[in-house]
Structure 1
Amino acid sequence: MMNIIFLCLGSRGDVQPYVAIGKTAKESGHNVTICSGKTFKSFVEQNGLDFQACSLDLMEILQTPEGKQIFEEGMKHPIKSIRYARRVINPLYRKTMTEFYEACHAKDVIVYHPKAFGAVDIAEKLGILCISMPPIPIIYPVSEFPNLAITTRNLGRFLNRLTYKLANLGAESNNIKDINHFREEELNLKKRKSGEYTINRNGNLIPIIYPISASLFTDTKEFKEKVYLSGFPMLDDNILLDQETEEFLKNGQKPIIVTFSSMPLHDSESFLKKIADSLLAGGNRGIIITGNSGIKMSSDKNLLMKEFIPHDAVFGRAKGVLHHGGVGTMAAALRSGIPQVIMPFNVDQPFWAKRLFDLGYALKPLKESDSEDEFASRFAEMNNKDVIFQAERIAAIIKQENANRKAVSYIERLYKEWDKCNE
């Protein structure tokens, strides 16, 4: 039996893989704690896991007008974003490191999100195993494609690998002063350089789990050798759909789902009209999951507007899905076995849009500015037998991966090896 703690910061999409794997770990006899922002307390505890709150709560920050503006328009106002980070985010990070340290006492294994600064430093102080689990392939240098945070353009094998080193060096740069203060004042450790513990810990490679499907990376040699791909974790929470959604699904042909989560649209009113018209042009019904995208419209007999619907509960009952390309939404779309098209916004989304299109698992990506005809064309392609066959084929592969169990088994194996080396 292990005492495992998962340190994770971010959105629901960031936290859910840890909860899914943690739930399976508990079912396997281990003690599991999730340490994250208090927004996720009920979500974690409803899944039977222990919860420890930390001060840095991204979802709470996004509810504030200033935080929402920085998240949506940060690239347009870099100076303002930097000042906000120094005034609001960095002090919360510093406080969170102390809370992480307190939560990690009497634990055997730390599994951490890259945003959880201080995780490796805490593991060093406590002399315990730590495992990096980024939700997207953004840490370990590979030659097949560049770091997603820098570019999606293939720069060649050498430069592709270099982008990871550059990104890793800068990953903690805004917080290294606070990290070193934490190391000196609370951990009694010497200062270190920014990025020093991104993939190595005192000269040894930190184990890395990517909770993504190996079937999407059969050409990536470095993953096979240095990184463990567990598959996409699945949280089997048996959520029932609300009555309005159930009635809509039962009373007509399968709809096309449109969802962009928290991604902000440039002109939500104009875009919504384009979506509605392009669905109507092909004789399609639709469900639009608005999230925080700014979309506002009333439902009618052919178009249902909902703020939130669990993706795994509804995708499998749809004709197809148009989404933003967030890894969690993409995984749910792949599992569902229905055609998908991605309209990416930022970060890893353009990467997934291109990769799934290249592999034949998604239609050609769209942009918000594309014409109504372009959207109608993609919706029409969802009727294509070859497109449907490819969607069903990758779904069958992913469903057989047993990702949660594989991740837990890998953690168990790493702990046994660690324990043996430190006897």
Structure 2
Amino acid sequence: MDKQIIFEDDHIRVIFLKGHSEELIFSFGDLITRAKGLSINAEKSLLKYDYNVIGVMPKEKSWFPTESMHQMMHAVQPYLAQFKTIVGYGGSMGGYAVIKYSKLLQMSRAIAFVPQYSINPQQVEDRRYAEFFDINLHRDMDISAQDISAETDYIIVYDPYYNEDKEHYLKIKEMLPRLMTFNLPFTGHDALSVLASSSLLNDFIRHKLDQDYFYAQIRQVKKNSKFYYRQVISQLMSRHSKALGRILKNNDLQLDTQYFDPALKQLITRIMLNRRQVTEQDLQKLGIKVNLPQESNLKLQDHFESFLIFNLISSKVESYTQEAIDLNDKYLIPLLAKASCLVKVEINRERYIVAMNDRGVMKLVKENDALSTDLSPLVLKKHDGYYVISYKGKNLSTDEYGVCTFIDPPLTDVTRFILV
């Protein structure tokens, strides 16, 4: 593999990867794919089709400062002169660079996933990246008409329902005379991850601009992308929870146990347990395994009049309404509470200590078993008229949605529980 650094300063590292294509690809990194050795953004996909590539990799979260990019031009000009077709590719911060420097780099096609117009808080309402704005580096950093070439075909992929990215898109759209937009609803800022595909990237670079063709290819990639379905579920589930019931009823799903990450698994099960009775068949379809418990009548009530339980599906202490607990009593186990003691639950007439590690992972440990060195038990403290649950000096709090977190003192209403 023939690779070499052709330019480097405090903000960017520029790497040439020699291939045998007629095209030269400028591949820009993002906040995640920053400079590391000789690595290039989307390297595996570009290598597969033997492209000549110049990888522009950021060293810092600095949005490819104009001064660095213009200094880079002395190094890349000899390469530009060798190719008639120059294509830019990148996502987010890299997508910004693709459009911002499309004219400077003489691009015939510019492919940008969820690009920014600017990170200047005076220019945009989006505050996700405001902390990285440096007036000394980013003066006049916004994409302007003078950055745009009338000879360049622009492709933008984004989620029209994700307001933060939509703001940038609408500002950029006004300046692009030749733009083809592809909507990827309910994927948030992760469009590039959803459409991670060597063949699709190759099409974006080489295929004639045919919107119907590209949408067909996008649909095919989405169909085979677990990440896409996870993103859609996480974006939609809290607003359209009935859809999950229809999916489970109408589809013979048999997902593996690793399909959903713990956070998404917790979201799905919370919605299911709150709004409908959960069956073992539902859980099997979603790849969720659980040991069945027995019910208990002891209940600690929080500030929102819900009750503290241990959720055997998510393996978390949470709070639920009594109605949800009654519907799903196999999985929602009330915490035992009488006096100051370790937090415990009872399952199949056997008592378990609720323990946790510093990463927030909770486990049930049989009452007489030894704790592993990384686990510490949750402690129930009885005060005058209320209880507190603690972990290493932090106190358990609940919110109106039943999600529990550990926060620093002092005690407040959300960290006090009463025994009903």
| TM-score scaled by length of structure 1 | 0.28
Q: Highest CA radius of gyration, 1 or 2?
A: 2
- The structure that is helix-richer by fraction is 1
| TM-score scaled by length of structure 2 | 0.28
